[in-house]
Amino acid sequence: MATDRCVNNMTIALFGGTFDPVHFGHIEIATQLAEHLQIDSLRLMPCGVPVHRQQPIANANQRLEMLGMAIADRPQLAIERREVEQSEPSFSIDSLRRIRAEIGPEQTLFMCLGMDALAQLQDWHQWRQLLDYCHIVAVARPGAQRPTKPPLKLWIEQHQSQQPAAEESRPCGHLFFCSVNLLDISSTEIRQRLKQRRSIDRLTPDAVIDYIHRHHLYE
């Protein structure tokens, strides 16, 4: 559940992904975003049937259980289950519409994306309408290159705000760039190491490692 900000209104931030499996890179980004956006809770939203990525190997319940273990000691992080519990393809615009209808027009809503996702945004379903429902926070390493191809480049220039996202008073409509320290870890690397019977220590929490081995995932 989203909680009260230290300022005047309620704020929800979403951070989507397949989390197949979740790892310390995900958790560190989410924690930094919660601090940057000055919110008490950031919702990690695993997708159910991804449209622009390959299908997850672990099923929905397994990914939810691993995610719950990974954030058990992070009170500022929560899980948003709506996409992973549906059987139809996960379109971000549909989730945002539903959340906006639930929270009303005045509550601030952020959707956090990595630069790789931002670069592919114009391939998303109804991508130009995303900012009708939320702000977009693009997460990048310091000095990372921003999208350069039209029409996405022009759209970004039209909607980018130089004001810090945490100080934004509007409930939606802007795009912000946020530099964070990213750990060099990927779910793909973890799956490859497991297939090669190599250690994944220090890549994901011990509880997640134990769960993966108990359920013989990614072998």
Residues 56-86: tens digit of each pLDDT = 999 999 999 999 999 999 999 999 999 998 8
Domain 11-184: homologous superfamily in CATH: HUPs (3.40.50.620)
The residue with greater pLDDT, 3 or 50, is: 50
Backbone φ, ψ for residue 110 (5° rounding): -110, 140
For 170-215, how does the pLDDT look when each residue is reduced to its tens digit (9 = 90+)? 999 999 999 888 899 999 999 999 999 999 999 999 999 999 999 9
Going across the sheet that includes 135-140, the strands are 77-79, 42-46, 11-17, 108-114, 135-140, 175-179
Report pLDDT for 4: 33
Q: What are the tens digits of pLDDT across the range 91-134?
A: 999 999 999 999 999 999 999 999 989 999 999 999 999 999 99
pLDDT for the residue numbered 9? 56
Q: In this structure, how many other beta carbons lie within 10 angstroms of the beta carbon of residue 63?
A: 23
Measured CA to CA, the distance from residue 206 to residue 184 in angstroms comes to 18
| pLDDT above 80: residue 15 | yes
Q: CA Rg, the chain, in Å?
A: 17
Is residue 153 classed as helix, strand or coil in its secondary structure?
helix
Residue 33 has pLDDT above 70, yes or no: yes
43, pLDDT greater than 90 = yes
Residues 176, 165 contacting (CB under 8 angstroms): yes
